[in-house]
Amino acid sequence: MASTRFDILGIGNAIVDVVARAEESFLSRHDMHKGTMALIDAATAERLYAVMPPGQESSGGSAANTCAVAAGLGARVAYLGKVADDELGSVFAHDIHAAGVHFPSAPLHGGAPTARCLILVTPDGQRTMNTFLGACVSLGEADVDPALVADAAVTYLEGYLFDPPAAQAAFYHAAAAAHAAGRQVALSLSDPFCVNRHRAAFRALVAGHVDILFANEVEVTALYEANDFAAAAEQARADVALAALTRSEAGSLILRGAETVHIAAEPAKVVDTTGAGDAYAAGFLAGLTAGRDLAACGRIASIAAAEVIGHYGARPQADLRALVAK
Amino acid sequence: MASTRFDILGIGNAIVDVVARAEESFLSRHDMHKGTMALIDAATAERLYAVMPPGQESSGGSAANTCAVAAGLGARVAYLGKVADDELGSVFAHDIHAAGVHFPSAPLHGGAPTARCLILVTPDGQRTMNTFLGACVSLGEADVDPALVADAAVTYLEGYLFDPPAAQAAFYHAAAAAHAAGRQVALSLSDPFCVNRHRAAFRALVAGHVDILFANEVEVTALYEANDFAAAAEQARADVALAALTRSEAGSLILRGAETVHIAAEPAKVVDTTGAGDAYAAGFLAGLTAGRDLAACGRIASIAAAEVIGHYGARPQADLRALVAK
C-alpha cells in the first residue's frame, strides 16, 4: 500500500458541547435517558438551555474528538464536518486546527447555526446528551473529497452521522472512495439509541463496508439484537476484519479473525465520561496506523480514554504522548 | 438600615473567557506578562486566537464571577454589565441567570461583539489574560439604575471597569447612589497593571468613595507606591473602613479601624488561579452581608477561593454552601 498524507480522516457531526453539572432529578424532570444522546430541534434546544445550570463550552462531536485525541498522540489527522459561519463555528474551527487536525470543510453560510450538544453530567460522571444538529444536516456527498479519502490510511465514521439524512450518502461515498484506493474504513456505533434508530442500515453497512468496528457492549448487543455480549461479539468477529469492543471498567475486547485480545481498563477517577469512547478509538487507530500490535493499540486506547474521563470535556487536557510513553 | 432586596450588586465588564493551557514559552513569544491582564483590540484578539491552543469557553468577568460565587453561597445578588446580542452574549446571560443572579442589563444591538478574554494557563496554574472589551465599552451611567443600587446592601465595583472610558462615570454614579441610600461601596483593584493605568483616579476613589477595599499585595503596594506590603496595608487602613488584602498561599489580612485579623489560606491544589480574587471577595461579602464576624468572612472567602483555583475556570464547580458548612 502506498504511503498516505494522513493516518486518519474523521467524518462526523461538527458540534460545540455545552457541559453542565446536574442532579439525577434534573434528568427525570426533563425526560432524559441517562448516558444516551437525544436529538432535539431548535426550539427544544432553546427551552432546555434556558433551564440548564451554568455551562462550559468546548468543541465536541464524536469523530472530531477522536481526531483531536489522535493528533495529540502524534497521528497525522484530517477531519470533515459542517459548521456555520457563526461564533460557535469559529470556536469549533479554531479548536480542531489548534489540535493539529487538517480541517478543510467550508462553513455553511446563511443556513442553520452551528450544532450544539447540551450535556448534563450527573454526580456519577455519566453524561446525558441533547443534540441540536443545526448546520450538520447540510453535510452531504459533495462535502467528501475522494482524493482526501484516498490520502488517509483509515477513514473513520461516527454512527451519529446517520442522523442527519444527507450524511448517509456521504457515508457510503466515503467508504467507496476509501476501498477504491485500497484504504480501510472504521465505524463507531456511537450510541445504543442511534443503533436502534438505524439498525438495518448499520447492519448492512457493517457487514458490507466496514473493516474496523468500535462499539461498547450495549451498542454491539443492540446492533445484533443478541442475547448477550459474547454472542454479539462473535457476530462482530464474523462481520468485520477487526473489532474493538469496550466494556467501561471491565476493559475491552479486541477481535481479529481467530485472535482475541483482552485489555484491562486503565485506573481512572471518573469525573465526566463524555468522549471516553471517542478517545478509545483515537488511541486504537493512532497505534494501529503506527504499526503497533493489537495489545499495544488497546493499551494506548485505554490510556487515552482514562485521561479524558478524568476531567470535564471530551478533548484531552494532558500531554497524551507523555502519558503513553510513561 | 432598612432591609434590601439584594445583598450584593456587582457592576463590571461582562466577558466570556476562552481558557487554554500554554507553556511559558508561548507567553514570552507573544510578549505577555505572566499573571496580569492586557487590553487588546479586535484585530489582536483575532490574531492571538488563531495561534492559541484549543480552548474552553465559560462566562467570566471579575465582578460577574464574584456575583456567581456569592449566589452559590446563598447571598441575594444582582449584576450589571454589557454584552452584545450575539452567541457569546447569550452564553454569558444564560450562565449568570443560571447561577441565580438577577441580570437586568439589556444587550447591545448592532455594535461591538460580546467581550472575550483569551486566558493562557501555564503549568504552574498562573493565568495570563488578554481582554478584548467589545460591547463593554458602551456601558455608561445610563446603565446604572439608582433604585437598584439603593436596593443592594453592598455595591461591588471591579477595578477593570476603569478601562472602558464611559464606565468611570457609571462607577461614580453608582457610588453616589449607594451612599445616598445609606449603602456601602466595595472595590476590587483587579490587577497591578490596571492600578498603574489609573492610579490617581483609584487613589481619589478609594479615599473618597469606597467603604470596603479588596486587593492583593501587589495591587495595594502599587496603589500607594509603597515600599512594602506593611506600609501599603497601613495606608489602606487609613483610607477605607474595611480592607481585605490577599497574599496567595500566605493567606489574607483584614483591617477595620484598629482591628487586624490574619486568615490562613485554605490548602488547595493549584490548577488555574483564574478567579481566585473574585471568589475571595464573594465569600467575604456573602459572609459580611449575612452578619458574620471578620474571621468567619475571611474563612468563607478562603474556602471559596480554594475551590475555584482547584479546577479550570473562574466559576465554582462544587456546592459551596456544603463546603463552607463542612
User: Span A153-177, mean pLDDT?
Assistant: 94
Domain annotation covers residue A49:
yes
Q: Is residue A134 part of a domain?
A: yes
Whether the Cβ atoms of residue B87 and residue A86 lie closer than 8 Å to each other: yes
**Interchain contact A50–B (C-beta under 8 A):** yes
Q: What is the domain count for chain A?
A: 1
In a domain, B5, yes or no: no
Give the pLDDT score at B2. Answer: 60
Instruction: State phi, psi for A17 to the nearest 5 degrees.
Output: -85, 140
Question: For the domain that residue B306 is a member of, what is the CATH number?
Answer: 3.40.1190.20
For the record, the C-alpha cell of A320 comes out as: 497524551
Could you report the per-residue pLDDT of A62-86, keeping only the tens digit for each? 999 999 999 999 999 999 999 999 9
Beta-carbon separation of B53 and A86 below 8 A = no
Q: Is B52 on the interface with A (CB under 8 A)?
A: yes
* pLDDT of A1 higher than 60: no
Q: How confident is the model at residue A318 (pLDDT cuts 50, 70, 90)?
A: confident
Domain annotation covers residue A105: yes
How far are the Cα atoms of B138, B193, B245, B272 from residue B128, in angstroms, in the given order? 25, 12, 21, 10
* pLDDT at position A272: 87
Per-residue pLDDT tens for B49-94? 999 999 999 999 999 999 999 999 999 999 999 999 999 999 999 9
Q: How confident is the model at residue A326 (pLDDT cuts 50, 70, 90)?
A: confident
Whether B72 maps to a domain, the answer reads yes
Q: Which tens digit of pLDDT belongs to each residue from B259-279? A: 999 999 999 989 888 899 999
The range of the structural domain enclosing residue B157 comes to: 12-318
pLDDT tens-digit map of B150-205: 999 999 999 999 998 889 899 999 999 999 999 999 999 999 999 999 999 999 99
Distances (CA, A) of A34 to A23, A25, A50: 11, 11, 20
- Average per-residue pLDDT in chain A? 95
**Looking at CA atoms only, how far is residue B117 from chain A in angstroms?**
14
A198 lies in a domain? yes
| pLDDT tens by residue, A220-266 | 999 999 999 999 999 999 999 999 999 999 999 999 999 999 999 99
Average pLDDT score over residue span A8-19: 97
B185 contact A CB<8A: no
Asked whether the beta carbons of residue A88 and residue B86 sit closer than 8 angstroms, the reply is no
Decide: B301 and B285 in contact? Cβ < 8 Å: no
Q: What ipTM score was computed for the predicted complex, to two decimals?
A: 0.89
Helix (H) / strand (E) element for A45: namely helix A42-51
Chain B touched by A200 (CB under 8 Å): no
pLDDT score for A2? 59
A75 domain-assigned: yes
Count of A–B CB contacts within 8 Å?
63
